[in-house]
A and B are shown apart, each in its own frame.
Chain A
Amino acid sequence: MKRQIPLVLVFIFGVLLAIQYFIPSEPSQKGYEFVLDWITIIGIFAMVLGIWSQIHVGYYKIRHRAEDWKYSVVTMVSMFGMIFLGLSPFGGLQGTTFRLIYTNIFIPIQATIFALLAFYIASASYRAFRARSAVSTVLLVAALLLMLRVIPMGPLADPINKIGSWMLLVPNLAAKRAILIGVGLGGVATALKIVLGIERSYLGKD
């Protein structure tokens, strides 16, 4: 019951939903609507697990005085503070302080974390982007040509733009298409393995 019923459920719903794609009849569409509605709701509850997990990790670190536990206090205080300020008496999603924190704390920090990557890609370009072999030289030249498109090159601008467009629409297209086809076949194979009960890791142990 603990393992077999979930496997049967996966199989039944997997097969039904796969077949549904080919049956555009009214009852089939209604059933499909129903399933989408319910599965979204179930998914919302799964999201709560993520929040709970965050609380659990923070609590554990603080309780056991793990390394950098003081920063976990920052995380926990800011998280509960944000939840508190987002409650209805303070205006919910339209609460003034809630919105100010999003705009003036969340946006700058998140944007800057990603901005740091600019420095690391510059460093990587300098230290690691080498023409060590014919294959890496092709990669390097392709990257350089794409980068040159951004720089105004006077009379060279037009040919460089043309090379860039050609690269994107011929070799890049072929390469990315092969990857897409590979990913697609892999995705279908994985989905089939789940539906047929070959892939069972989601059941966990015991």
Chain B
Amino acid sequence: MIINHPLLGPRDAAEFVYLGDASLMNRPEWKGEEASDEQTEKTLDAYHDYLYIRENKAGEHKELWYHEQGDRSWLIVTRNTITHGISKVELARDIAVANQAKGESKK
């Protein structure tokens, strides 16, 4: 496969290391120092779903790739898991910043 790196252009997928579903960016909030048992259980549920449960889509899949033999960027690649066609490649950090901004504005 060829991943079209947003900064470096087309690079062979062999230069990258795959991690998995881009939902791994959405790490749940910590329960806090003074959490009740109930809060702890709820947070554990959230962490369980975050780390272990996958939609595992057959079709368009947003996923994390790390350019280990390159510029060390983490990328979010939108790739079809049936055809392997790649429709979008983004810098994960850009998305993380945008997500954080969204999160902040909600508060």
Partners in one complex: no
Interface residues of B (CB under 8 A from A): none
Interface residues of A (CB under 8 A from B): none
